[in-house]
Amino acid sequence: MGIEEATKRQSIFSYPEDLYNEEYYDDQAPEKKRRLTPEQVHLLEKSFEVENKLEPEKKTQLAKKLGMQPRQVAVWFQNRRARWKTKQLERDYDVLKSSYDSLLLSYDSIKKENEKLKSEVNFLNEKLSAKDVAGAPASGQSSHALQVEETRDSPLGFVVKVEDRLSSGSGGSAVVDEDGPQLVDSGHSYFHCNDYPGSLVAVNGLQSEDDGSDDSRGYCSEIFAAAEEPHQEGGVPMGWWAWP
């Protein structure tokens, strides 16, 4: 509805002085509701912007100025607050929803990456087993294996461990003893974790049980998994850590 049109549909209270006069209501009270004029609404809106609640004095002033009953002004503010609240709820909902959608996308992406990395670990595990069989000890059992353990401690959702089944360590698990995170140094080999920016599984301390040569087909003594962090020192992302 345009202003002009609305103005045409003039309130039955054509004269403000009549409006404010209670006798007007007593004698000529309209049975039907009348909309406020655009001018009245405009001033009410302006007042609402300044203060969304009415002091009694302000209410009386506005009513007089607009040619309305104080009660009408109070009702208008009441309804206006209700409308504002509804709009605010809608805005809050929109903000929350877009935040949720964004998180969901992020979650899905990380989940897929997690699956990829796991299958890559499985693939490497199989390769290790195959190599063990080729140069097999008498037992015929693979001497090493990669183990994937799910954990919330890792940003990837899991950690990889190398089990040395031939070692005489406790429980048959010769997990490298390194306290806490370690920076990855040069001279190590890495298995790239495809599609996960900045992450990789590193294999260092390569040795061959066959001849001691480093032919990149050696066994892992440590597995590192790293996630990229914004700050780097000396070309190595900070915050690299190793899970023994």
Partner DNA sequence: TTGTGTTTTATTGCCTCC
Partner DNA sequence: GGAGGCAATAAAACACAA
Where do contacts with DNA occur on this chain (CB under 7 A)? 1, 5-6, 9, 32-36, 41, 53-54, 56, 71-72, 74-79, 81-83, 85
Nearest to DNA of 40, 199 (CB atom): 40
**In this structure, what are the phi and psi dihedrals at residue 180, rounded to the nearest 5 degrees?**
75, 180
Cα–Cα dist 22/241, whole Å = 81
> What are the helix and strand counts (H, E) for the chain?
6, 8
Report, in this order, helix, strand and coil percent for the chain, each rounded to 5.
45, 15, 40
Q: How far is the CB of 96 from DNA (least distance, A)?
A: 19
β partners of residue 145:
163
1, 36 in Cβ contact below 8 A? no
CB of 101 to DNA, least distance (A): 24
Q: Which of 204, 192, 147 is nearest to 171 (CA)?
A: 147
* Rounded least distance, CB 36 to DNA, Å: 4
Which residue, 72 or 204, has its beta carbon nearer to DNA?
A: 72
Of 89 and 236, nearer to DNA (C-beta) is: 89
Q: What angle do CA 230, 235, 236 make, to 5 degrees?
A: 70
Q: How far is the CB of 9 from DNA (least distance, A)?
A: 4
Q: How far is the CB of 15 from DNA (least distance, A)?
A: 15
Rank residues 22 and 101 by Cβ distance to DNA and give the closer one.
22
Cα 72 from Cα 68, distance rounded (Å): 6
Closer residue to DNA in complex, CB, 40/143: 40
CB of 202 to DNA, least distance (A): 58
Q: Is 55 left (phi over 0), alpha (psi -120 to 50) or beta?
A: beta
Identify any residues that bridge with 241 across adjacent strands, giving them in sequence order. 225
Comparison of 33 and 231: residue with beta carbon closer to DNA = 33
